[in-house]
Amino acid sequence: MKSKRFAPIALALTWAGLLVGYWPSGCTQSMAGPSAPAPSPEVVSAAPVNPAPTTFLPHPTFALAHAAAADQQVTIADIAERATPSVVNVASRRTMKREQQPQQEEMFRFFFGPRGGEPEEREQRGLGSGVIYSKDGLVLTNNHVIEGADEITVQTSDGTDYDAEVVGTDEKSDVAVLRLKGTLKDLVPISLGDSTNLRVGDVVLAIGNPFGFSQTVTMGIVSAKGRSETRIVDYADFIQTDAAINPGNSGGALVNMNGELVGINTAIISRSGGYQGIGFAIPSNMARQIAQSLLKDGRVVRGWLGIGIQDVDPSLAGAMGLPTADGVLVSDVEPGSPAEKGGLTRGDVILTVDGKKTNSSTQLRNLIAEAGANKKVELNILRGGKAQTLSVLLGELKSDKPEAPRGENGGARPPEASKGLSLDAISPRIRQQLQLPPSIKQGVVVTGVAPGSTAQESGLAPGDVIVEVNKRPINSVQEFRDGYQKGTGKSVLLLIYREGRTRYVVLER
């Protein structure tokens, strides 16, 4: 009777002993014992090294900590300790002037001062982060952290305060370079890594000052690369990470498991204003190039091709007879531009730039801009179904030059019939009203689009000028109707002029 009573207890103790014995064993071996080979520093893996022959998995905390292990059992704490001294607080102060008041309000203020004691000016303070990357006190940060600042103060990890001056800023990429002033002591510049070596799934650390809490370290992985469609800045190739980034982290460091800077933390996507798992960092290679240009020229010198571009979607590819929806479509070529001199024509599809694939119009813009002015690039294009290679000498993108429009899905879902459109001939009055250039010699103008019609769904809008139908120029509304009705297949290809550029739109019959 006694043995039967204690049998369940003995069984429970036996299982407990097994669990206690196996769990630490699995964790210890996953953290690499003396006989376990160290993983290559170029390939970061969270998998256990030489795991014990058991079905038990290592504890997640140990697995993540071991992701940083290199030759001498480097841990996450070691990486953070190495990189944190290079990350600084960036405090800015700017004076905001009160908006101009109506004349009677100005008279009131002349006699009685600001209404309700409201001050003429108010002070606005901002707090962000930055990264020291040279012994002589150069700091990388975001443009929006110091934009419009009257005073900038940088505090290093040891609590030393420095006044800082702006070396240069680039609003289009949100990069800024500061220089610390005064006597510099014991600065710890960070090592710049090669951001192109990052892989999706690599473990990274985000270091900064979220909500003013200095030297905060969070950990995550690289969620995606090449995020250029965020519309956060004009030129971007963001690293996406799930490492926690919050207000105050802007300008801080994203580091790899070698303790190298691979990104400048810049923005988050959030519905609450706080961290929700999606953060973006400017790749270190892009930040390095922009910083060098700011130091050398005081501005960023970007390449200029002089074309209008749009993404290729399946409907547009079908209408143009393209074999695939790869590449970026040239919808316009500016007269006298490097593109025209290099032989590019409307309807070409750019597949690569110097061997790098162009999967979107934004990516193409980045590649051309990064190449720089007076740089010769090789373009692989598709023209009339045949591949060609063109060599083009890029110009310099000036601030007053019209830039190629951002990637829009050039054609979306077109209308089932032309009845969704109201069209008219181009009269002298319309030409003057729309300020049409001399190059637009023919076409018809869209004067109305029926609400909810498929014409509206296609993206056509009043003021658009339809120049071609199925690659044939048109001069009247009747020619448009004829071209629309005589077209073969399920779609009709239109070339339209809008706001200074031409682009293609597809209409399904």
Q: Which listed residue (170, 174, 332, 464) is catalytic? A: 174
Strand 138-141 to strand 151-155: parallel, antiparallel, or no bridges (unpaired)? unpaired
d(C-alpha 161, C-alpha 181), whole Å: 10
d(C-alpha 330, C-alpha 89), whole Å: 45
Residue 464 among the catalytic residues? no
Partners of 126 in the β-ladder: 92
Structure tokens at 420: 């969704």
Task: Name 507's Cβ contacts closer than 8 Å, sequence gap at least 6.
Answer: 414, 415, 418, 455, 458, 484, 491, 492, 493, 494
Q: Which listed residue (250, 337, 360, 458) is catalytic? A: 250
Residue 71 among the catalytic residues? no
d(C-alpha 198, C-alpha 185), whole Å: 33
Handedness of CA 413, 414, 417, 421 (dihedral sign): positive
d(C-alpha 328, C-alpha 348), whole Å: 8
Query: 196 by DSSP, 3-state: which?
Result: helix
DSSP characters for 267-320?
EE--SSSS--S-EEEEEHHHHHHHHHHHHHHSS---EE--EEEEE--HHHHHHH
Residue 144 among the catalytic residues? yes
Is 296 buried (19+), middle (13-18) or exposed (0-12) by CB count in 10 A? exposed
Chain CA centroid to CA 391, Å: 28
Query: 185 by DSSP, 3-state: which?
Result: coil
Q: Which listed residue (30, 66, 92, 144) is catalytic? A: 144
Instruction: Fill in the DSSP letter of residue 365.
Output: H
| H helices present in 345-472, as ranges | 361-371, 428-434, 454-457
Say if residues 247 and 283 touch (Cβ distance below 8 Å). no
Which are the catalytic amino acids?
144, 174, 250
